[in-house]
Amino acid sequence: MSNITSTTTTAIPEIRTTNTELVTEGMKTTTTTTTIVMPEIRTTNAELWVQNGTTVAGGNGQGEKLNQLDYPSGIYIDDDHQAIYTADRQNGRIVEWKYGAKNGEIVAGGQYVGSGTDELNWPSSILIDKNNGFMIICDPRNKRVVRWFYRNRTYERTIIPYIDCFGIAMDDNGDLYVSDTVKHEVTRWKQGQTHGEVVAGGNGQGNNLNQLNNPSHIFIDQEHSVFVSDHKNHRVMKWTKGAKEGTVVAGGHGPGGALTHLFEPNGLFIDRSGNIYIADTFNDRVMCWPKGSTEGRVIVGGNGRGLGSNQFNYPWSLSLDRNGNLYVVDSANQRIQKFDVVDD
């Protein structure tokens, strides 16, 4: 990884509960897992979101204080508890920011950056199992996916060892998907499996349609297609269920700033109409690529790299709340920005 205008359809999260069984290291665990499903809503605004964001986490410079972040990466929005969770990478911690709070609260890691059971090392992505009080965390420099208890802030166990993970996602069956930046693949960990199944890439590092190059964030749609930010190939790929090759659905023309290009993309999500929303990291913008389009449009950012409320400095990840408000992890500005949805 690098150091890091017309009627439009978007989506807001619906919370759905499924049973998940993971088997690793000779142990079987069945849990009830909360999964985010993206239902469809429509808006007729030319601009879906205001163009000047509000800082809702961090924004007080790089550091380890509770009002600071240090190159944050992943994000999870919990509307039920009105909280934002972020993977605060260089601080080796997961931090919860209640809506409107001036300070965050450490909920995993944060004592030291390390490999102990109570430590994290550059955590990159997070999911929440709210029914059972678990956090599932990608801990890449420790080569593991771990599970922590939310309420007492303690490590529960490693659920996937020996993996160079970066992004994690779940489908509506509760199966876990993990991107591997060294094997250049995405694996699915189905209920009852002790080993992951390759569902994207896995044919070495490259730019062919059956290859990936440093895959980062992933998203799973309702048909269980896997969307991958193919970071170093400057594209987003779609792999339908069971496919041996992917399809380029955004970018894929090398690095660049034109509307047909991406430059080391990261965070993404897909709405029910198939529109793709992308954190175009090195172009300092968030883009929307309508389904089937050969170019995207800038929805926020794209105003040069900077600290302004309409600017980013390496936007790394993104998410939505139930009202359709957009949250962007503005990594090198050490903050999370909220862009309110525009009302009709």
pLDDT at 16 over 80: no
First to last CA, the chain: 40
* Per-residue pLDDT at 193: 82
Share of the chain above pLDDT 90, in %: 74
Nearest-10 Cα torsion for 160, 162, 168, 174: -20
Residue 166 belongs to a domain:
yes
**Taking 60 as the threshold, does the pLDDT of residue 30 lie above it?**
no
The band of 192, judged by pLDDT with boundaries at 50, 70 and 90, is low
Among 51-55, 133-137, 163-167, 327-331, the minimum mean pLDDT is found in 133-137
Answer yes or no: is pLDDT of 21 > 90.
Answer: no
Q: Is residue 24 part of a domain?
A: yes
Give the residue-averaged pLDDT of 280-300. 97
For residue 277, being part of any structural domain is answered with yes
Please write the tens of the pLDDT for every residue from 235-246.
Answer: 999 999 999 999
pLDDT of residue 8: 31
pLDDT score at 227: 98
The residues facing 20 across adjacent strands are 31
In a domain, 344, yes or no: no
pLDDT band of residue 54 (cuts 50, 70, 90) is: very high
pLDDT for the residue numbered 216: 98
Q: Are 275 and 250 in contact (CB under 8 A)?
A: no
Residues in the chain: 344
pLDDT confidence of residue 293: 95
Looking at per-residue pLDDT, the higher value among 265 and 12 belongs to 265
pLDDT score, position 233: 99
Q: Residue 194: count other Cβ atoms within 10 Å of its Cβ.
A: 12
Confidence of residue 322 (pLDDT cuts 50, 70, 90): confident
Beta strands, E only, 195-246? 197-201, 215-220, 226-230, 235-239
| Rounded Cα–Cα distance for residues 329 and 335 (Å) | 6
pLDDT at residue 344, rounded to an integer: 62
What is the Cα–Cα distance from 16 to 243, expressed in whole angstroms? Answer: 27
With b for 16 or more beta-carbon neighbours within 10 A and e for fewer, the 116-152 pattern comes to eeebbbbbbbbbbbbebebbbbbbbbbbbbbbbebee
Place 13 in a pLDDT band, splitting at 50, 70 and 90: very low
* Average pLDDT of the segment spanning 17-40: 44
Segment among 29-38, 118-127, 140-149, 291-300 with least mean pLDDT: 29-38
Checking if the pLDDT of 46 tops 60, the result is no
Q: Compare 332 and 11 and report the one with higher pLDDT.
A: 332
Is the model more confident about 53 or about 32?
A: 53
340 or 33, which is more confident: 340
Q: Give the CATH number, domain containing residue 21.
A: 2.120.10.30
Residue 3 included in any domain: no
pLDDT (tens digit per residue) in 163-177: 999 999 988 888 999
Average pLDDT over residues 90-94: 98
**Per-residue tokens: 35:** 């999964």
For residue 44, the enclosing domain spans 8-339
- What's the rounded mean pLDDT across residues 250-268? 98
Highest mean pLDDT pick, 42-51, 185-194, 196-205: 196-205
Judged against a pLDDT cut of 80, whether residue 281 lies above it is answered with: yes
Q: Is the pLDDT of residue 27 over 70?
A: no
Please say whether the dihedral angle defined by the alpha carbons of residues 105, 124, 221 and 17, taken in this order, is positive or negative.
negative
- Residues 317, 308: Cα–Cα separation, whole Å: 18
The answer to whether residue 1 sits within a structural domain is: no
The reply to whether 2 falls in a domain is no
The domain total for the chain is 1
Report residue 89: phi and psi, to 5°. Answer: -55, -65
Model pLDDT for residues 110-143, shown as the tens digit of each residue: 988 999 999 999 999 999 877 678 899 999 999 9
- Label residue 272 exposed, middle or buried (CB < 10 Å: 0-12, 13-18, 19+): middle
